[in-house]
Amino acid sequence: MGAGFSDQAFIDEGAVIVDNAFKSDIVLKVRPPTDNELKKLEPDSGLISFLYPRVNEQLIQTMSEKHITGFSMNEIPRLSRSQTFDALSSMANIAGYKAVVEAANEFDRAFMGQITAAGRLPPAKVLIIGAGVAGLSSIATAKNLGAQVRCFDTRPATKEQVESLGGTFLTVEMEEDGSGAGGYAKEMSPEFIKKEMELFAKQAKECDVIITTALIPNKPAPKLILKEHVELMKPGSVIVDLASEAGGNCEYTKPGELNNVNGVKVIGYTDFPSRMAAQASSLYGNNISKFI
């Protein structure tokens, strides 16, 4: 019911409702199993999920000991021919949308600018760091809410995509291409990072909302919004850290929590797709149905 589908809807499609789904031969799941769930999985069973094997070494070791065959959805190559299986992109798309909705909910003013008889209301200034799937989804959503949107990405190739959605593409005064393998960004040089920090400091003073989406595969999320940046922001501002599960792009991020830092709300929720469970379930179901 949490995903908006009743038990009867599953029964009508031929499913059998059981008390313990983890006793099945094959278990389909979005999030990696918890320790308690892992104990319930049958030996020699199969698990299709986001497993993140390079960072969840203990999980993989336990699965190996129980002879559980795992299929990690996040390891599918992000190629044109595998787009229908790309659950990473489908979940990131939802997370980017929901990040803006959560930011708007916590922000104490309207995103859309207005000129009324009572006075002028300026549009919210939103900075989005990272123009991947989540970042582009955030740009489109924030623009639709009437915000003034800026975006920074180390990959020059994303500039056209950002501008096509109505965002302003920010750059630093240094030429270095951050394009990495699989559509991700790569680690940048110390010189570039110094310029980047200067840009973020300037934007922190001006922007009302910052949404960060920067990830590097199999490594902790890069720290982009430092404590001094947060302290430059106006009280009432909001940061949404979509990289919180990998440690976060903001130094004040507390994964899974909302952290209030001198009036600046730092959102580190790790369950954005789950907050739109019906949409996430439908898209994820389409992704994994190709394996069944």
184 is catalytic: yes
Is the model more confident about 271 or about 101?
101
82 is catalytic: no
7 is catalytic: no
Is the model more confident about 53 or about 233?
233
Q: Which of 45, 49, 52, 86 is catalytic?
A: 86
Q: Do 65 and 153 have their domain in common?
A: no
Q: How many domains does the chain have?
A: 2
Q: Which of 45, 49, 52, 89 is catalytic?
A: 89
Q: Report the helix count and the strand count for the chain, using DSSP H and E.
A: 9, 12
Confidence of residue 286 (pLDDT cuts 50, 70, 90): confident
Q: Which of 24, 72, 179, 184 is catalytic?
A: 184
Would you tell me how many other CB atoms lie within 10 Å of the CB of residue 290? 9
Q: Do 64 and 191 have their domain in common?
A: no
Euclidean distance between CA atoms 122 and 188, whole angstroms: 35
Task: Give the range of the structural domain holding residue 49, as residue numbers without chain letter.
Answer: 7-75
Would you tell me how many other CB atoms lie within 10 Å of the CB of residue 177? 12
| 81 domain-assigned | no
Q: For residues 8-27, give the mean pLDDT.
A: 89
pLDDT in tens, 66-84: 999 999 988 888 777 788 8
Which residues partner with 100 through β-bridges? none
Q: Do 208 and 156 have their domain in common?
A: yes
Q: Do 102 and 180 have their domain in common?
A: yes
Q: For residues 239-265, give the mean pLDDT.
A: 96
DSSP state of 250: B
179 is catalytic: no
pTM of the model: 0.86
Identify the CATH number of the domain in which residue 45 sits.
Answer: 3.40.50.720
Q: Do 130 and 269 have their domain in common?
A: yes
| 220 domain-assigned | yes
Would you tell me how many other CB atoms lie within 10 Å of the CB of residue 166? 14
83 is catalytic: yes
Q: Do 11 and 64 have their domain in common?
A: yes
Q: Do 194 and 234 have their domain in common?
A: yes
